């Protein structure tokens, strides 16, 4: 009985110590986001202290804390102290302030691992299995939309539901509810992803007269470089499009300027100049009527094709 009491005292101390350690700025040597882990820094507390003292059961318990992502071999890619929260009212997912930047963590990982994709699992309990909407998939899509806004190719993100036994707290929330797993692309999925790389429409800030490369373009550039390394005989065509505001001549010029800017950016990132051709169609090839600002924004675009 005494040993059991000592065990629970240690468990309480271990949890408090772990939360203090991960939230402490001055006690960590790295200067990045102090609540996350890279592939090279995987939960030293769990591996060194808890497991040594009380075995795999304590280590496994501590690994359930916070938002984390697993790689193809179930290795921990990153971890935060806090977690996401789902609720029993809708499919929205609450993201604590301490988790800001998790989308960039995922984008960076996928940028470095072009052979992988992300599978997002959204929890749903037994009561939600009978919902008219697929609550689990809707929660996963909520996170997917955030990642797409961060510039990640949507074709490299899969949303899936996961039935799971849990109960909401008194305020109607549940801490957790989302799982993030990276997996190696299958041959079928590689074909699908490559189709999206070979024909891509980018919006970014191309509606502005000055060029500003953003996360969408930088992430696409990584995919494009990998694609051209795999298919060295392929060539890239960039076409700039505008809305119908202004004269035909000025819009043709703006479209060319924007496609030239994208070309220059691709070259600066290591893609050979002789593989890229930049053109403009100005306002001549709209994909929506130029009858509202929303539709005109759809027409201000860059189209990239590879053949």
User: Could you say which of 2.60.120, 3.30.1330, 1.10.520, 1.10.287 is the CATH number of the domain covering 18-185?
Assistant: 3.30.1330
pLDDT, residue 188, reads: 96
CB atoms closer than 10 angstroms to residue 156: 22
pLDDT, residue 158, reads: 98
Average pLDDT on 283-293 reads: 96
Is the per-residue pLDDT at 176 higher than 50? yes
Average pLDDT on 256-263 reads: 93
Is the per-residue pLDDT at 32 higher than 50? no
Centroid of chain to Cα 284: 34
For residue range 184-230, what is the model confidence (pLDDT) as tens digits? Answer: 999 999 999 999 999 999 986 665 656 778 899 999 999 999 999 99
Give the whole-angstrom CA distance, residue 287 versus residue 299: 6
Is the per-residue pLDDT at 239 higher than 50? yes
Residue-wise DSSP of 80-143:
-SS--EEESSSS--B--GGGTTHHHHHHHHHHH-TTEEEEEEEEE-GGGGG-SS-HHHHHHHHH
Q: Which two tokens stand for residue 249?
A: 């001549």
Equal CATH topology for 18-185 and 190-306: yes
- Class of the CATH domain delimited by 190-306: alpha beta
The DSSP 8-state label assigned to residue 168 in this structure reads: -
* Alpha helix segments (H runs only) across the chain: 2-23, 44-45, 51-54, 56-62, 102-112, 135-149, 187-198, 215-230, 248-268, 293-299
pLDDT, residue 114, reads: 96
Give the whole-angstrom CA distance, residue 111 versus residue 114: 6
pLDDT, residue 49, reads: 39
pLDDT, residue 103, reads: 96
Tell me the average pLDDT of the chain.
83
For residue range 44-90, what is the model confidence (pLDDT) as tens digits? Answer: 333 443 344 444 444 444 445 799 999 999 999 999 999 999 999 99
The answer for residues whose C-beta is within 8 angstroms of residue 99's C-beta and 6 or more apart is: 35, 67, 80, 82, 84
Ranges of each domain in the chain: 18-185, 190-306
Give the whole-angstrom CA distance, residue 224 versus residue 304: 10
pLDDT, residue 26, reads: 39
29 or 268: which leads in pLDDT: 268
Is the per-residue pLDDT at 303 higher than 50? yes
Average pLDDT on 99-119 reads: 96
pLDDT, residue 25, reads: 41
The answer for residues whose C-beta is within 8 angstroms of residue 86's C-beta and 6 or more apart is: 93, 94, 122, 123, 139, 173, 174, 176, 177, 178
With cut-offs at 50, 70 and 90, classify the pLDDT of residue 133.
confident
């Amino acid at each position: 009985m005494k040993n059991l009491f000592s065990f629970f005292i240690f468990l309480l101390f271990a949890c408090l110590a772990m939360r203090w350690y991960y939230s402490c700025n001055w006690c960590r040597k790295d200067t990045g986001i102090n609540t996350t882990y890279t592939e090279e820094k995987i939960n030293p507390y769990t591996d060194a202290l808890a497991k040594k003292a009380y075995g795999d059961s304590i280590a496994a318990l501590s690994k359930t804390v916070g938002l984390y992502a697993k790689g193809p071999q179930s290795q921990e890619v990153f971890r935060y102290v806090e977690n996401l929260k789902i609720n029993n009212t809708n499919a929205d997912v609450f993201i604590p302030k301490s988790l800001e930047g998790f989308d960039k963590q995922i984008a960076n990982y996928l940028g470095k691992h072009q052979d992988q994709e992300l599978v997002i699992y959204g929890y749903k309990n037994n009561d939600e299995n009978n919902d008219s909407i697929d609550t689990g998939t809707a929660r996963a899509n909520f996170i997917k939309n955030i990642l797409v806004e961060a510039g990640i190719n949507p074709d490299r993100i899969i949303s899936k539901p996961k039935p799971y036994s849990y109960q909401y707290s008194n305020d109607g929330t549940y801490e957790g509810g989302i799982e993030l797993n990276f997996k190696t692309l299958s041959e079928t999925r590689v074909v699908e992803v490559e189709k999206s790389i070979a024909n891509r429409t980018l919006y970014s800030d191309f509606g502005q007269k000055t060029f500003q490369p953003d996360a969408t373009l930088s992430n696409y550039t990584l995919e494009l470089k990998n694609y051209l390394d795999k298919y060295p005989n392929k060539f890239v065509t960039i076409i700039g499009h505008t809305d119908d505001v202004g004269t035909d001549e000025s819009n043709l010029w703006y479209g060319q300027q924007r496609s030239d800017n994208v070309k220059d950016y691709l070259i600066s990132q290591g893609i050979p100049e002789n593989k890229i051709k930049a053109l403009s169609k100005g306002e001549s090839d709209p994909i929506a009527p130029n009858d509202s600002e929303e539709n005109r924004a759809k027409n201000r675009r860059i189209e990239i094709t590879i053949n």
